[in-house]
Amino acid sequence: MNLSATQESPAVRVGLTALTVVLLVTLLLLPLAVVFTEALKHGLAIAADALVAPDAIAAIELTLIVAAISVPLNTVCGLAAAWCIVRFRFSGRGLLITLIELPFSVSPVISGLVWILLFGANGWFGPAFDRAGIRVIFAIPGLVLATTFVTFPFVVRTLIPLMEQQGASEEEAALTLGATGWQTFWRVTLPNIRWGLLYGVLLCNARAMGEFGAVAVVSGHVRGQTMTMPLQVEALFNDYDWVGAFTIAGLLSMLALLTLVVKAALEWRIGSRGGPLL
Amino acid sequence: MSVELRDLSKSFGGVAALNRVSLTIAQGEFLALLGPSGSGKTTLLRVVAGLDFVDSGDITVDGRSMQSVPARERSVGFVFQHYALFRHMTVMRNVAFGLAVQPRNRRPPAREVRARVQSLLDFMEIGDLAHRYPEQISGGQRQRVALARALAIEPRLLLLDEPFGALDAKVRKSLRVWLRALHDRMGLTSIFVTHDQAEAMEMADRVAVLRAGRVEQVDAPARLYAEPASAFVHEFIGESVRFDCIVSDGLARIEGLPNVQIPTTCPAGQAVALIRLHEIGLLPGPGPARVESRHLVGPMCRTVVALNDDVFDVLATEAAWAPAPGQTCNLDLSRARIYRSEPNWDS
Amino acid sequence: MMQPARHSALPGFNLTFGITLLWLSLIVLLPLAALILRPWELGLAGVWHSITEPRVLASLRLSFGVAALAAVVNVPFGLLVAWVMVRYRFPCRNLADSLIDMPLALPTAVAGIALTALFAPKGWIGALLTPLGIKVAYTPLGILVALIFVGLPFVVRTLEPVIMDLPLDSEEAAATLGATRSQIVRRVVLPALIPALLAGFGAALARGVGEYGSVIFIAGNMPMISEIAPLLIVIRLEQLDYAGAAALGLVMLLVSFAILLLLNLLERRIHQRT
């Protein structure tokens, strides 16, 4: 006999919890376990060798370079966008928010495709850039552009609800005390949003380093030159070099795990759930 | 320094927040802006601080127009309703903020800033809180920090937005006295917003009653109570009883009370009679009113009287004559004030 | 087009608005303009022909069909997980909570090869299924598995805040009126969750339609059978058929847009109710 109005009977509760744990373990934990098992199948030494292979090192370097360019760009622009969207009311504001979130609803492949349409051999600007000797597609600029497109909304999206919730009164107080706009930003706004900003940057970075579809389209797959880590994973996997593929995949998984840990810590810090990663 | 507001108007999406507001605040004056929520009092305060902008009208401070002066150059001390303390700074750094952001050539050296802030904190009786963060101190202490922060820039004008709104009744009472004393001691000119009439009446030199973006009346508290300029002010300040009446031949007559005729200058037609509870006289009956019950409240006696379908209280001293419950009586309403009727003033 | 409706005391509108508009134009609007304009190089008939090829139609049917199926599966899965996470306390609950975000944090290529290894005939799960005659890897079933993996967090994270905000007293009120627990769940709790369930379904669907990395390894990529629409875009690009690729991309984008619109309408409906 179940006496509680707001709870299921203990048996149902245990059953549902068990079902959830089984579901989470099979669907979410097993894939992660497979990555590390496959990577270490032939021992740590072989996995370590795969990690220091010249192509692997080049892929790691390229991934870091791409993220190091697109993440700061999106951070600065995300801050600017959040400031004007949250602190001002203007016509077209809703449209602006929709447009900023657009990249999230676009297939990664399309996010790469659009840059080929602009800068590819048959693209609008491709031939002109080619004549000027600037390679965009199948080179680092293309990878950066595709990554920036895909990660564009992360920072703004985290900051908008945070800044709305905090309100403008501290900034207004700073103004009445004689602070300039920049002083207000550096001394009042930025310290107040720093954890939220870090959260957005973290998500942006995780996606920038892990993006596959968009960069796959613009990369050209030149080994040792235009292969980021996820692309290197694909190439090794298709070569049946499973240890190599899963070793780099393991490295990316550790990045993902780190992201989740820092995310949990930041959510605790911000004092509320930051919502889904996307 | 004196402030003059001339014909200020502002609307938000078609709704008038300020409707041709004109006010003059003299040097050293403590002015309260009193009104129900939505009456435009906070907007008016923000306009003076340069945080909001009017559609028309002008603000002058000591004769100088503030129209094109940005908030940060007005040197106005503003205390926000929820204090708006910088949550990531200690009390010391909060209060020092206004000095720390001054241009390098005008900024006092760090040592002097610290000394000045500390003495200001001591003056405010919160000297030992200098290294706490806003979330670590009580509401009343936050209020003092907010005030200290606003005063640190030595403002010419102090603006306070519902300064005691977030405090409990006891703290509120003691802070009122303290703030008024502070105002006098520092020779400030202050404007403060409140929806609490007791607060306004107790603290201010003059009270401006606002309603739907308009100034209904500006007067000293005693006059405001004794001579309300409109039915709205009469009912907003103090307790009153309202009777519908009809004016003709310079006399107001209340329905159901044929004996009552109150002389008035109000134009003929529908009007309202408003009277304070203690101004109502009870006369021996039989008459149209019926006494429901009586209770002593301290030295006063509260008599509950029913007239037609209305029930209201009458206040008198314990010693005054009053009919026993169940008896009927006549009413003396000669001290009532007659106002033109405005059926939906509170919309 | 965009002008501040009233000026604010806070500075920086022109600067931040300028940066935002510039960045948005360069990074989002210009590329999307290319996507919208380039298909028409083929002419109207050419576009029509290009998107009605049997292979294209098959891939679109597959992408949208499997994504919808995965989203349908994820509704009860997500409801179960969200309910348990919000209402129950059990050991390692925080760990489980972080795990839910795994599909979003894990790079899609990693998820793709991991799922392939797991469901391949000799993989941990594949080895259990092969004797039963179930083939997952390199079939449309594999695509379904990948899209369930990817879509689960969308349903869970949409539901969680709504379950958290469910007023307990309405459940208690139902109980005082004589309802049993299962009646309460069916008549009080579930109806309140329907908008969120639909929203989560839509989000999972939208993500599934465009998904690429986690799908292509496990899909087998057989034309007409297990070839998803995004892969066909890649193939057309490799053939330098830019306009054809753009046409297919545009079709997918428009459908995604319709889903986004529906989501917004749903969200507005939810806000109206509460």
Check which CATH number belongs to the domain holding B202 and give it: 3.40.50.300
What the block records as the tokens of C12 is 């920086």
**What is the phi/psi pair of residue C257, to 5°?**
-60, -45
Query: Is the CB of B69 inside 8 Å of chain C's CB atoms?
Result: no
Q: Indicate if the alpha-carbon torsion angle B196, B200, B202, B203 is positive or negative.
A: positive
- Radius of gyration for chain A, computed over Cα atoms and rounded to the nearest angstrom: 23
C256, closest residue in chain A (CA to CA): A105
- Beta-carbon contacts of B110 under 8 Å, excluding residues fewer than 6 positions away, are none
| CA of B101 vs chain A CAs: smallest distance (Å) | 5
Answer whether residue B83 shows pLDDT above 60.
yes
Determine the 3-state secondary structure of B209 from DSSP: strand
Choose among B213, B212, B211, B241: nearest CA to B229: B211
- Beta-carbon contacts of C29 under 8 Å, excluding residues fewer than 6 positions away, are A99
Q: Which of B75-84, C2-11, C74-83, C248-257 has the highest mean pLDDT?
A: C74-83
Element housing B163 (H / E): none
Distance CA C63, CA C205 (A): 10
What the block records as the tokens of B89 is 């700074």
**CB C2, CB A90: distance < 8 Å:** yes
Distance CA B79, CA B151 (A): 9
What the block records as the tokens of A125 is 């600007």
Q: Do A172 and B71 touch (CB under 8 A)?
A: yes
What the block records as the tokens of C206 is 């939208």
**CB B273, CB B337: distance < 8 Å:** yes
> Is the same domain home to B23 and B58?
yes
Q: What is the ipTM of this complex?
A: 0.89
When pLDDT is cut at 50, 70 and 90, the band that residue C90 belongs to is: confident
Chain B neighbors of A191, CB-CB under 8 A: 86, 88-89
Q: Do C7 and B53 touch (CB under 8 A)?
A: yes
User: Is B146 part of any domain?
Assistant: yes
Choose among A262, A264, A271: nearest CA to A205: A262
Q: Do A253 and C106 touch (CB under 8 A)?
A: yes
Write down the pLDDT at residue C267: 65
**CB A212, CB A206: distance < 8 Å:** no
When pLDDT is cut at 50, 70 and 90, the band that residue B35 belongs to is: very high
Give the structural domain span for C58: 41-273
Chain A neighbors of B89, CB-CB under 8 A: 191
User: Using CB atoms, which chains have 3+ pairs under 8 A with B?
Assistant: A, C
| CA of B150 vs chain A CAs: smallest distance (Å) | 7
**What is the phi/psi pair of residue B210, to 5°?**
-110, 145
Q: Do B70 and C7 touch (CB under 8 A)?
A: no
User: Is C72 part of any domain?
Assistant: yes
Query: Is the CB of B246 inside 8 Å of chain A's CB atoms?
Result: no
Question: Tell me: the pLDDT tens digits for C143-152?
Answer: 999 999 999 9
> Is the same domain home to B256 and B189?
no
Distance CA A198, CA C259 (A): 31
From A27, A32, A79, residue closest to C148, measured CB to CB: A27
What the block records as the tokens of B322 is 């009053």
Per-residue pLDDT averaged across B313-340, rounded?
86
Q: Do C35 and A7 touch (CB under 8 A)?
A: no
Write down the pLDDT at residue C166: 86
Element housing B14 (H / E): none
User: How many other CB atoms are found less than 10 A from the CB of residue C90?
Assistant: 14
- Beta-carbon contacts of B331 under 8 Å, excluding residues fewer than 6 positions away, are B257, B260, B280, B281, B282, B283, B287, B288, B289, B305, B307
When pLDDT is cut at 50, 70 and 90, the band that residue B347 belongs to is: very low
User: Is C21 part of any domain?
Assistant: no
Determine the 3-state secondary structure of B252 from DSSP: strand
Q: Do B50 and A174 touch (CB under 8 A)?
A: no
What the block records as the tokens of A32 is 């992660």
A193-207, C160-174, C242-256: which has the minimum mean pLDDT?
A: C160-174
CATH of the domain at C250: 1.10.3720.10
Strand order in the sheet with B269-276: B257-263, B251-254, B240-248, B269-276, B337-340
Give C212's DSSP letter: -
Interface of A with B (CB under 8 A): 169-170, 172-180, 183, 187-188, 191-192
Determine the 3-state secondary structure of C7 from DSSP: coil
> What's this model's pTM, rounded to 2 decimal places?
0.85
A261, closest residue in chain C (CA to CA): C98
User: Is C237 part of any domain?
Assistant: yes
> Is the same domain home to B195 and B272?
no
Query: What angle do the packed helices C54-87 and C140-165 form, to 10 degrees?
Result: 40
Q: Indicate if the alpha-carbon torsion angle C61, C63, C64, C67 is positive or negative.
A: positive
When pLDDT is cut at 50, 70 and 90, the band that residue C231 belongs to is: very high
Strand order in the sheet with B206-211: B76-79, B157-161, B190-194, B30-34, B206-211, B214-219
From A170, A178, A192, residue closest to B72, measured CB to CB: A178
For residue A193, the one-letter residue type is I
**CB A103, CB A152: distance < 8 Å:** yes
Distance CA C114, CA C111 (A): 5
> Is the same domain home to B227 and B257?
no
User: How many other CB atoms are found less than 10 A from the CB of residue A243?
Assistant: 18
Distance CA A50, CA B141 (A): 62
Chain C neighbors of B51, CB-CB under 8 A: 9
Answer whether residue C263 shows pLDDT above 70.
no
- My answer on whether omega of the bond before B286 falls inside 30° of 0, hence cis, is yes
Superfamily of domain covering A43-270: MetI-like (1.10.3720.10)
Determine the 3-state secondary structure of B308 from DSSP: coil
User: Is B344 part of any domain?
Assistant: no
User: Is B171 part of any domain?
Assistant: yes
| CA of B79 vs chain A CAs: smallest distance (Å) | 8
User: Is C8 part of any domain?
Assistant: no
Distance CA A156, CA C2 (A): 19
Give B326's DSSP letter: T
Choose among B191, B200, B192: nearest CA to B236: B200
For residue C99, the one-letter residue type is L
Write down the pLDDT at residue C5: 44
Question: What stretches of A25-136 show up as alpha helix (H) in DSSP?
Answer: 30-39, 44-52, 54-87, 93-101, 108-119, 126-131
Q: Do A216 and C212 touch (CB under 8 A)?
A: yes
- Beta-carbon contacts of A191 under 8 Å, excluding residues fewer than 6 positions away, are B86, B88, B89
User: Is B347 part of any domain?
Assistant: no
Distance CA B158, CA B29 (A): 11
Write down the pLDDT at residue C271: 64
**CB B96, CB B114: distance < 8 Å:** yes
Domain ends where: B231, B259, B285? B231
> Following CA atoms C10, C14, C17, C22 in sequence, which dihedral angle do they give, to the nearest 10 degrees?
-160
Write down the pLDDT at residue C107: 95
Question: Tell me: the pLDDT tens digits for A246-276?
Answer: 999 999 999 999 999 998 888 877 665 444 4
What's chain C's average pLDDT?
A: 88
Per-residue pLDDT averaged across C179-191, rounded?
83
Determine the 3-state secondary structure of A94 from DSSP: helix
**What is the phi/psi pair of residue B38, to 5°?**
85, 5
For residue A158, the one-letter residue type is T
Give the structural domain span for B258: 239-339
Element housing A187 (H / E): none
Element housing B335 (H / E): none
Choose among B48, B55, B159, C23: nearest CA to A75: C23
For chain A, 278 residues long, give each residue's pLDDT as a single digit of tens.
455 667 788 888 899 999 999 999 988 899 999 999 999 998 889 889 888 999 999 999 999 999 999 999 999 999 999 999 999 988 889 899 989 988 888 899 999 999 999 998 888 998 999 899 888 889 999 999 999 999 999 999 999 999 998 889 999 999 999 999 999 999 999 999 998 899 899 999 999 999 999 999 999 888 888 999 999 999 999 999 999 999 999 999 999 999 999 988 888 776 654 444 44
User: Is C32 part of any domain?
Assistant: no
**What is the phi/psi pair of residue A82, to 5°?**
-65, -40
Answer whether residue C3 shows pLDDT above 50.
no
Distance CA C90, CA C92 (A): 6
Q: Which long-range contacts (CB under 8 A, 24 or more apart) does A17-22 make?
A: A17/C84, A17/C88, A17/C90, A19/C80, A20/C80, A20/C81, A20/C84, A20/C85, A20/C96, A21/C90, A21/C96
Write down the pLDDT at residue C7: 56
Write down the pLDDT at residue A255: 93
> Is the same domain home to B190 and B249?
no
Question: What stretches of chain B show up as alpha helix (H) in DSSP?
Answer: 41-49, 91-100, 110-123, 139-152, 169-186, 197-203, 221-226, 231-236
Question: Tell me: the pLDDT tens digits for B278-298?
Answer: 898 888 878 888 899 988 888
When pLDDT is cut at 50, 70 and 90, the band that residue C234 belongs to is: very high
How many structural domains does chain C have? 1
Domain ends where: B231, B259, B274? B231
